């Protein structure tokens, strides 16, 4: 089975009838000059590919990245999936496909840590508004640090600094928690939004404290295996993934021109912590992230978490803020607010990875690049990323629809509770019509 036919199968035959055959989807545009004139993407304007393709090709020519993978879902189906370029600059490097693994960097924060917390909140084993000291022994229970909750860690309002060399804070986790709990805060908990890698690292440790097992083991069993996300894992080389199937990042620190990180996490904290951390360390393919996006947006191929939990984690208190609980939202001052609906949620990664889910337009976009292996600046990459998402915005036919309670209601469908639980405390919401919160269409 080809990679694209597998993706179609995983999504339960959601590939649109008008799309190319499964075995052809990876090479949707084998000859861009000719194919763009005739190929169409279901749910998008007839000229969408003529708009998108030059943006992607120019990004490769400009050295933004040696290669990239792009998957787009619309209206309950995958409508576009293709890899471009190669994993590295050398002519002998492997072509990028939608099954190529990329270092997700901070996308780990949502694709692993936040999803894990969502499951545990749904099961009543975690409370977003309980203090960190509830689960992490050695964390202060009093003072400003004592007021930091799990929600503060995820929505970046803990006041903790942006980053710190966690691996230098002691020989074990207990010592590191003690040091982190004494770091000067840049603001009081909940006072203002200050992006920090330390919050998700601590959140990952909370997941491990509650489950009694490593973060990677928990999410693999509870998330990736049920969704058949076989191309998603921490420490991919140890799992037997051939190095040539992993896109590299930049040169290994301290060994200039000696080689690139390939299959080894780029983030120094995650690398020093053994390759598994709440802020970074996850590797995945565009194909697998599309499956995760489909599960969250359309509950296909299965429902990962209940809608009430998803709403709580993607709800923010102010449109001027950037983050909800773990998930980034399109703040009104950012370009994301110009290319995404107000209810959209997603995240990006330093290495050049992006996932956004836009419920109001019924669209998700997975864009994976290895920008650190390219020759362009971060500003060049940001412009390229904006151009890709702007092309998607211009091309999608479905207009942005108003949201009801930040999610659409479809009253003609019914699903059983299947153990769905409330936002907090584990109480079954028996009075609510479970399963009504599903995509229209």
Per-residue pLDDT of the chain (441 residues; tens, 9 = 90+): 444 445 554 444 343 333 333 332 233 233 333 334 447 899 999 999 999 999 999 999 999 999 999 999 999 999 999 999 999 887 788 999 999 999 999 999 999 999 999 999 999 999 999 999 999 999 999 999 999 999 999 999 999 999 999 988 988 999 999 999 999 999 999 999 999 999 999 999 999 999 999 999 999 999 999 999 999 999 999 999 999 999 998 765 544 445 678 999 999 999 999 999 999 999 999 999 999 999 999 999 999 999 889 999 998 776 678 999 999 999 888 888 889 988 899 999 999 999 999 999 999 999 999 999 888 899 999 999 999 999 999 999 877 665 544 444 332 332 333 445 433 233 332 332 333 223 323
In a domain, 369, yes or no: yes
In a domain, 433, yes or no: no
Whether 194 contacts 267, CB under 8 Å: no
**Cα–Cα distance for residue pair 196/220, rounded to 1 Å:** 25
In a domain, 37, yes or no: yes
Clarify whether residues 204 and 304 are in a common domain.
no
In a domain, 311, yes or no: yes
Q: Residue 401 has what pLDDT?
A: 64
Of the residues 379, 395, 411, the one at which a domain ends = 395
In a domain, 321, yes or no: yes
Q: Residue 422 has what pLDDT?
A: 37
Q: Residue 56 has what pLDDT?
A: 97
In a domain, 412, yes or no: no
Q: Residue 419 has what pLDDT?
A: 43
Clarify whether residues 203 and 352 are in a common domain.
no
| Cα distance from N-terminal residue to C-terminal residue, the chain | 29
Q: Residue 45 has what pLDDT?
A: 94
Clarify whether residues 168 and 189 are in a common domain.
yes
Clarify whether residues 260 and 361 are in a common domain.
yes
Provide the domain limits for residue 346. Answer: 3-108+230-395
Beta bridge partners of 82: 70
Clarify whether residues 135 and 81 are in a common domain.
no
Nearest partner of 122 among 325, 261, 347, 289, judged by Cα: 325
Q: Residue 349 has what pLDDT?
A: 96
Q: Residue 420 has what pLDDT?
A: 55
Nearest partner of 150 among 117, 182, 193, 192, judged by Cα: 117
Of the residues 395, 410, 434, the one at which a domain ends = 395
For the stretch 237-246, contacts whose Cβ atoms lie closer than 8 Å and that sit 24 or more positions apart, written own/partner, are 237/263, 237/264, 238/275, 241/101, 241/283, 244/87, 244/93, 244/94, 245/94, 245/99, 245/100, 245/101, 246/87, 246/100, 246/101, 246/102, 246/103, 246/283
Clarify whether residues 192 and 279 are in a common domain.
no
In a domain, 284, yes or no: yes
**What secondary structure letter does DSSP report for 314?**
H
Q: Residue 92 has what pLDDT?
A: 84
CB atoms within 10 A of CB 184: 8
Clarify whether residues 195 and 252 are in a common domain.
no
Q: Residue 174 has what pLDDT?
A: 93
Clarify whether residues 263 and 299 are in a common domain.
yes
Clarify whether residues 180 and 45 are in a common domain.
no
Q: Residue 43 has what pLDDT?
A: 92
Please state the domain count of the chain: 2
In a domain, 32, yes or no: yes
């Amino acid at each position: 089975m080809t990679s694209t036919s597998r993706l179609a199968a995983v999504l339960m035959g959601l590939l649109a009838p008008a799309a190319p055959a499964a075995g052809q989807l990876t090479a949707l545009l084998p000859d861009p000059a000719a194919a763009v004139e005739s190929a169409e993407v279901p749910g998008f304007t007839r000229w969408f590919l003529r708009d998108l393709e030059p943006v992607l090709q120019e990004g490769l020519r400009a050295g933004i990245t040696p290669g990239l993978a792009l998957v787009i879902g619309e209206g309950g189906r995958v409508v576009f999936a293709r890899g471009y370029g190669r994993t590295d600059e050398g002519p002998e490097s492997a072509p990028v496909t939608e099954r190529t693994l990329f270092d997700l960097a901070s996308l780990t924060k949502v694709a692993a840590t936040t999803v894990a917390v969502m499951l545990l909140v749904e099961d009543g084993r975690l409370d977003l508004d309980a203090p960190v000291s509830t689960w992490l022994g050695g964390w202060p229970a009093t003072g400003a640090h004592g007021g930091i909750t799990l929600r503060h860690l995820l929505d970046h309002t803990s006041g903790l600094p942006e980053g710190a060399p966690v691996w230098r804070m002691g020989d074990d986790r207990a010592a590191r928690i003690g040091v982190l709990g004494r770091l000067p805060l840049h603001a009081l908990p909940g006072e203002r939004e200050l992006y920090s890698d330390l919050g998700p690292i601590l959140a990952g440790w909370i997941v491990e404290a509650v489950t009694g097992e490593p973060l990677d083991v928990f999410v693999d069993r509870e998330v990736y295996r049920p969704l058949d996300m076989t191309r998603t894992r921490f420490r991919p080389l140890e799992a037997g993934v051939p190095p040539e199937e992993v896109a590299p990042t930049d040169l290994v620190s301290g060994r200039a021109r000696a080689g690139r990180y390939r299959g080894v996490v780029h983030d120094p904290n995650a690398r020093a912590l053994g390759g598994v951390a709440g802020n970074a360390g996850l590797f995945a393919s565009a194909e697998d992230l599309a499956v995760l996006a489909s599960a969250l947006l359309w509950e296909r191929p299965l429902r990962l978490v209940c809608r009430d939990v998803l709403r709580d984690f993607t709800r923010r208190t102010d449109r001027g803020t950037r983050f909800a609980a773990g998930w980034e939202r399109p703040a009104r001052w950012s370009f994301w607010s110009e290319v995404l609906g107000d209810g959209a949620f997603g995240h990006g990664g330093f290495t050049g990875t992006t996932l956004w889910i836009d419920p109001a337009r019924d669209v998700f976009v997975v864009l994976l690049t290895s920008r650190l292996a390219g020759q362009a600046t971060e500003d060049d990459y940001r412009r390229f990323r904006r151009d890709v998402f702007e092309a998607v915005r211009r091309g999608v036919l479905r207009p942005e629809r108003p949201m009801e309670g930040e999610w659409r209601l479809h009253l003609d469908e019914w699903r059983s509770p299947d153990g769905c639980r409330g936002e907090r405390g584990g109480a079954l919401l028996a009075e609510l019509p479970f399963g009504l919160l599903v995509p229209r269409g």
